[in-house]
């Protein structure tokens, strides 16, 4: 399967017996605000704090940060630790930046709270690190610096120490193995067919939800396990605990 438009859909929602949910962040939990300001680069924000700490210029601090080996394979908060900068200090600065760029749709909070009531754990499956996932959820007051009541775990792009991160072909098989998830009772939710739905289905995950909040259709499903929705509210009645 290469394109969701190649698949035929029906309008009735399937009954899903689910024991674990994997969920993307960007475009799935979040959306770009109309007229939103693109955040200042996280390395620049770290450089500003490092410059003050060491009494050097921001340019010098930035060169020092960017000279680090494997910079892109580690979260910016990892490097904050390495340079002696408090993670929470950097996190709070970045949070203010992201508040001007994204918001969290109302259906996200509804969905997360409903799944928590039903005892169905949700895990992030995203390029975002644990700390960045919490930061973006905090934009909508669904997380704090070090915790959220709505996620049971985090499978970030750097979780398996593969430079390809989420785009590695064995990313989803590794998640299934690491979490000891039953693929027949696992649901993946994302906003990109090629990066979220197709690879999760190929890994044996029974159900994949493709969310497109601009779609006129509330819910469509096909026999191959792909479900398309325009709001997380529409998938909630389909889900029950498979435990």
Model confidence at 9, pLDDT cuts 50, 70, 90, reads very low
DSSP structural state of residue 147: B
Q: What angle do CA 34, 38, 44 make, to 5 degrees?
A: 165
Higher pLDDT, 227 or 2: 227
**pTM here?**
0.91
Q: Tell me the two tokens of residue 127.
A: 């390029």
Return the half-sphere exposure (C-beta side, CA atoms, 13 A cut-off) of residue 17: 4
pLDDT of residue 92 exceeding 90: yes
pLDDT at 187: 98
Distance CA 239, CA 242 (A): 9
pLDDT at 12: 58
The model's pLDDT over 48-73, given as tens digits with 9 standing for 90+, comes to: 999 999 999 999 999 999 999 877 77
Write down the residue that tokens 């990066």 correspond to: 195
What backbone torsions phi and psi does residue 112 show, to the nearest 5 degrees? -60, -40
Burial state string for 61-83 with b = 16 or more CB within 10 A and e = fewer than 16: bbeebeeeeeeeebbbbbbbeeb
Cα distances from 118 to residues 113, 114, 167, in angstroms, run 9, 6, 31
pLDDT at 5: 44
pLDDT at 70: 79
For 9: left if phi > 0, alpha if psi spans -120 to 50, otherwise beta; the answer is: beta
Model confidence at 105, pLDDT cuts 50, 70, 90, reads very high
């Amino acid at each position: 399967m290469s394109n969701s438009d190649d698949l035929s859909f029906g309008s009735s929602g399937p009954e899903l017996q689910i024991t674990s949910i994997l969920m993307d962040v960007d475009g799935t939990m979040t959306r770009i605000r109309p007229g939103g300001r693109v955040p200042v680069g996280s390395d620049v924000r770290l450089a500003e704090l490092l410059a003050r700490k060491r009494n050097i210029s921001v340019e010098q601090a930035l060169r020092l940060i960017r000279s680090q080996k494997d910079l892109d394979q580690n979260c910016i908060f990892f490097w904050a630790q390495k340079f002696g900068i408090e993670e929470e200090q950097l996190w709070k600065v970045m949070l203010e930046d992201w508040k001007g760029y994204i918001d969290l749709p109302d259906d996200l909070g509804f969905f997360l709270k409903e799944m928590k009531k039903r005892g169905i754990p949700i895990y992030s499956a995203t390029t975002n690190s644990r700390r960045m996932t919490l930061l973006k959820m905090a934009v909508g007051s669904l997380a704090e610096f070090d915790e959220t009541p709505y996620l049971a775990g985090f499978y970030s792009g750097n979780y398996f120490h593969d430079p390809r991160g989420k785009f590695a072909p064995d990313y989803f098989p590794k998640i299934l193995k690491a979490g000891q998830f039953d693929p027949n009772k696992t649901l993946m939710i994302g906003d990109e067919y090629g990066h979220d739905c197709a690879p999760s289905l190929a890994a044996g995950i029974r159900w994949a939800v493709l969310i497109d909040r601009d779609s006129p259709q509330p819910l469509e499903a096909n026999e191959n396990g792909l479900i398309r929705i325009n709001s997380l509210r529409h998938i909630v009645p389909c889900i029950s605990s498979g435990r």
